[in-house]
Structures are given as structure tokens and as C-alpha cells.
Amino acid sequence: MATQTPKPQEIAKGLSHQPPSENWMDTKPEFRSGMYCHPVKVASLEGMGGAFAREWNPTEADWKLPADWKGIVKDGLKDRLRRFRSFQVFMDICVRCGACADKCHFFIGTGDPKNMPVLRAELIRSIYRGEFRTAGKILGKLAGGRKLTEEVIKEWFYYFFQCTECRRCSVFCPYGIDTAEITIIAREILNLLGLQIDWIGTPVNACYHVGNHLGLKPHTFKENIEYLLGDIEENVGITIEPSFNRKGAEILFVTPSGDVFADPGIFTCMSYLILFEYLGLDYTWSTYASEGGNFGFFTSNETMKRLNYKMYAESKRLGVKWILGGECGHMWRVVHQYMDTMNGPADHLEVPRSPITGTVFENAKSTKMVHVTEFTADLIKNGKLNLDKSRNDHYTVTWHDSCNTSRGFGFLEEPRYVLRNVVNNFYEMPDQTIREQTFCCGSGSGLNAGENLEQRFRGGLPRANAVQFVHEKHGVNMLANICAIDRAALKPLMDYWVPAVNVCGLSELVANALVIPGEKAARSTNLRGEEINDLREEAGLEPIEWPEEDEEGGEAGEEGEE
């Protein structure tokens, strides 16, 4: 937080926070608590064979850069200009029309000009001009070029870890310039100097060596799910015995590990378990491919590939026919945009076919991976689920399109179709804040660390503002989504901006509405352990008549009593 105190006349003039009027190239970022993420731990970076692992602190002047850091950056840049045609094009074709300037949630929430996508890209483009282009080399600033200095590297670290790679800006660019891809490359280059944040570097290392971002070892992963089974038994009254690493299962199920242990993701996870049990699905969990998310995507091309590979490797080892995936954002951007060319073709798998409806998922012909939401939508369409959507009547829901599923995966109608079939009260946020134009949660691309909470709240402001609008207008009290990072990040965001609104995964609403054959008294509580009739009473609704206690003398009924 800034510390200088303005004098009264400065307050009157309102000049106290005015940035220096120099050219933007000359202003420097200040690393203040709450506004940046901590550097990666040495062991994590070393674990991935990363270069120049060391202790360093962004608030100190000396970042202990390697001796030849300039050469490394220039070579890194040159190499990527050669390998990635899109990067070269994005460096050359921006006409600085400004159409993207006010489209970034970080700019909207901060007013910091370097958070304008055009200037964010210019941070690296100016070096490209100044170091690689003749005009820029000779004319310098006049031709929009500048020289590579340590200050530039610090600025990159500050602003490229303040871009969530959400692609909102690209929707408005007449040339289709995708600043997210520029950020991706910039982070790769920073990585060459050992400049990584811990919230990305440590999960990546854990995922690579153990199987998931949290570093849950196989037995712990299994125990965590078993714990959720206990909660299901208590709160829903059904006993489930899923399998782990079972060879010959028809389907391998992979979901982000956040679902397995963090609130409110665990309720989404319980919902998958309930749905699959209801269907009698022949599926298995893997304790090795125990992570659907891929923080490697926020690191480098190669790291993303390494982490992604285990899904196919496990599907091969277990001999399954296809892969079903849980609710996640960037997991699906990776699957949709890169998996096939990175680690495919997955010839050991079959084109996914729903064993319940017989539907063949032609869209997943190549990757052999189906999203649980499209799987569910197909079940509903074919009348395979007995749904009573009035069971969600105490919720008034709005839908958050996650950047990755909407702009990165084109998943706009499927979730809405499912939502409309499981809730009666659904209100959209304003058009300019949903679908392709959706606002980011402010915590994507590995920026959902604890230490940069203020930065996240500023970045999430435009999203929260739209939620507040539907909360005030329609009484919205639930923000549904299909992304593990959203589930984790939107909750605190709502607690700060719109505390009356809660957050859930779409599958949770499906499980709430599902009428399970032989339901017992325990069903009167939801997955969160809340009495549904209490919630209904608060909302002014009639209570639901749940089955009588212990009809068949089952244990579940007894447990539900407490």
C-alpha cells in the first residue's frame, strides 16, 4: 500500500496519486505487499530442472539475475519469434488503434495504463523494436523502441503476472491479436531467468512428481475422496464405492484436484460421485493422473506438455476406452487447443460414446475427452435423469462464463442448457459481461495466490460489479460456474464485493435436483450439510416432504438423523 500522506492542498488538487507525466516507458512499477505474487521456491524450480533457481525478493533492488541475462532474453525472444509465427505477427501488426485498451479487467479495476492490453504487449514489443528492428535500433523511442534493461525485466514480471491470459482483449481487436499469447511467451522468457511465481512453480513441480498440484500422494488422494463418500452417506444417504486405478474400466475420470479437497470444490466432486453412482457408470479414478488442471500452461509450452501427458499415459495403462473430465477452466483450454497436437493422437482410445444414451461425441473424436457438462446435457436431452428442479428453488442463480471454457473452448450453450434443467430461477448478467465478453474472476492463469488478494479483488471488480447488479435486480444469491479456480477465487471475491452471493459448481445444482431412487431421510440436507427446508424457509418457500426416517432400516437413515 502507498505510504506517503498527501498535504491538504494536494488533496484539493487531487494530485497526490497522479503518476509522473513522463513517457510510460520511463515509469517503474513499485512492488508493494498485496500487489504481487511471491517468487518460486528453489526446490520447486529445481524439481522441474528450471534454470537459475535462487532466493530472491521482488522488493529488493538486486534480483540476482544470471550474468548473461541480456543474452538469454534476446536469444529466448529470437527463438520464439522463429518458432511461433503468431508471436511474430502479433509483434508486427498492432496499429495501436486502442480498441482493446479499456477491455482488460485489470485496467478497468486499476486505471493503470500498463494494464491496457495494448501497452502490456508494448512492454515487450518495444524491446522487439529497440533490439531487433533497424528503425527502432537507430531511432529508439521515436520508433517505439527501447533498450533492454533490468528495469524492463522487473516491469515484465509485474505486468505479465498481472494478466490472467483471459483473452477478453482479443475479442475486440480488429486484427485478432491475442495479448494472452504475448503474456504466455513473456512468462516463458522470464522463466529462462528463473523468474517464476511460487503459486505456479510449486504446483507444477508437485504435479509432475506426484500427480496433482497439491502434491497429494496416491493414498492421500484416495482417502480424500473416501472422506467425501462419508459426507455423502451422511448428507444424502447413499453409499458409494468408486474404484481407483482399476484396469479395464470403460471410462477414466479426471478432474482438477481442487475438487477433491477445497471448499466449495468438494461439493462439486461429491456431485460427480453421486451422478456416476446414479447412472451405474463403469468408470475409475486414477491416483496418478489425479489432476485435470495444468499449471504447466502458465509456465511454458514444454511444461504444459509434460503435465498433460499423464492423462493419456494413464488411460493407456488402465486400458480404458475414453476419458471423462470434470469441471475446470484451463484444463479444457489445454485439452481443446493443444492436447491433440502435443500428446496425440490418442489411438489407444475409442471415440467417446455415452454408455447410457449411446450418443457418440463426434466433437471429441480426436482428443477422446468429454466434458462432464456435455455428458450431463446429453443425459438430460435423452431423459435419463429424474430431475426435480424445484429442489433448487431457494437459489436464484446467475451464470459465470469462465474465460477458458467460453473464449478458450466455446462452451456457451451446454452449461446453460443444463442449468435451465436444474433450476427455476436463472438470470443472466448483462450482455457485455457474459459469453465471449465474459469478465475474468481476476485470479486465473495461476494468479489465485493468497498474497496478492488486493490485486485479485481489483481484477475481479468488473465481474463482481455485474453480479451485484443481478443480485440487486433479481435477488441472485448463487453464482454458478464450471471452473475449479473460479470456485476457489469467486468465493472470496463475493465475500468482499457482494457478500450475499455464494458460489457453486454446476454439477452441485444437478446433484441437488437429482431424484435418487430409494431416497432416505438424509436427503433433507444438501451436500453442504445444510437443512434444505431451513434454506427454503428463509427464502419464503414451502417445505419439501422428505421420506420418513429409516424406511428400510438402512444405516444411512440413522446417520441422517443427527
Partner 1 sequence: MANLQELLKAKSETILEHWFDLIIATYPAESVQYFKRTKDAFQNPVGHTIHREMKAVFDELLTGLDRERVSPFVDRIVRIRAVQDYAPSQAVGFVLGLKQVVRKALAKELEAAAGARGLLDQLTDFESRVDELALIAFDIYMACRQKIYEIQAQEVKSMYYNVLRRADILCPIPEQEEPDMPPEK
Q: Note the residues at the interface with partner 1 (CB under 8 A).
A: 1-6, 8, 11-19, 21, 24, 32, 34-35, 101-102, 107-113, 223-224, 227, 261-263, 266, 430, 432-433, 450, 453-454, 457-458, 461-462, 465-466, 469, 488, 491-492, 495-497
Minimum separation from the CB atom of position 36 to ligand SF4 (A): 15
Shortest Å distance, C-beta 93 to partner 1: 23
Min CB(459)–partner 1 separation in Å: 10
- CA triplet 529, 533, 538: central angle to 5 degrees? 105
* Residue 84 interacting partner from partner 1, ligand SF4, none (CB closer than 5 to 8 Å by kind): none
Q: Closest CB to partner 1 among 181 and 231?
A: 231
Name which of 496 and 546 has its Cβ closer to partner 1.
496
Cβ proximity to ligand SF4: between 53 and 94 the closer is 94
Report the nearest approach of partner 1 to the CB of residue 455 (Å).
Answer: 8
Instruction: Outline where DSSP puts E strands in 96-228.
Output: none
- Cβ burial 396-406 (10 Å sphere, 16+ → b, else e): bbbbbbbbbbb
Site for ligand SF4 in 43-62 (CB under 6 A): none
CB 324 within 8 A of CB 290: no
Return the axis-axis angle of helices 85-93 and 179-192, rounded to nearest 10°.
Answer: 110
Q: Please say which residue, 6 or 218, places its beta carbon nearer to partner 1.
A: 6
From partner 1, ligand SF4, none, interface partner of 168 (C-beta below 5 to 8 A by class): ligand SF4
Grid cell, residue 286, equals 486414477
Contact set for ligand SF4, span 167-206 (CB under 6 A)? 167-169, 173, 175, 177, 179-180, 183
Phi, psi of 35 (to 5 degrees): -115, 0
Question: Distance from first CA to last CA of the chain, Å, rounded?
Answer: 48
Bridge partners, residue 325, by sequence: 254, 371
Find out whether 419 and 434 touch, Cβ atoms under 8 Å: no
Round to whole Å and give the CA distance between 476 and 500. 9
CA–CA separation, 164 vs 170, rounded Å?
A: 13
Which residue stretch of 116-124, 149-157, 208-216, 477-485 sits at the interface with ligand SF4 (rule: CB under 6 A)?
116-124
Residue with Cβ nearer ligand SF4 (349 or 489): 489
**Which of 529, 471, 527, 480 shows the shortest CA–CA distance to 500?**
471
Which amino acid appears at position 206 of this protein? Answer: A
Q: Which is nearer to partner 1, 266 or 377 (CB)?
A: 266
- Whether 441 contacts 433, CB under 8 Å: no
| CA-based nearest residue to 503, from 424, 435, 441 | 441
120 binds ligand SF4 (CB under 6 A): yes
Q: Which of 500, 542, 545 lies closest to 519 in space, CA to CA?
A: 545
SS3 244: strand
> Is residue 138 a contact residue for ligand SF4 (CB under 6 A)?
no
Q: Does residue 262 touch ligand SF4 according to CB under 6 A?
A: no
Shortest distance, position 337 Cβ to ligand SF4, whole Å: 15
Least gap, CB of 50 to ligand SF4 (angstroms): 24
- Cα–Cα distance for residue pair 209/92, rounded to 1 Å: 40
Give the Cα separation of 207 and 397 in Å (integer).
34
Q: Which does 102 bind (CB under 5 to 8 A by kind): partner 1, ligand SF4, none?
A: partner 1
Q: Which stretch binds ligand SF4 (CB under 6 A): 166-174, 231-239, 278-286, 292-300?
A: 166-174
Residue ranges in 531-550 that form contacts with ligand SF4 under rule CB under 6 A: none
How far is residue 444 from each of residues 121, 155, 403, measured CA to CA in Å? 18, 20, 9
Residue 495 binding: pick among partner 1, ligand SF4, none (C-beta 5-8 Å cut-off by kind): partner 1
Using the minimum distance from each CB to ligand SF4, give the nearer residue, 98 or 518.
98
Give min distance, CB of 178 to partner 1, in A.
Answer: 20
Number of H helices, E strands in the chain: 26, 7
Q: Which does 5 bind (CB under 5 to 8 A by kind): partner 1, ligand SF4, none?
A: partner 1
155 phi/psi in degrees, rounded to 5? -65, -40
Query: Strand locations in 133-192, DSSP E?
Result: none
* Per-residue contact flags (x/-) with ligand SF4 for residues 65 to 104, judged by CB under 6 A: -----------------------------xxxxxxx--xx
Which residues of this chain interact with ligand SF4, rule CB under 6 A?
A: 94-100, 103-104, 106, 117-118, 120, 163-169, 173, 175, 177, 179-180, 183
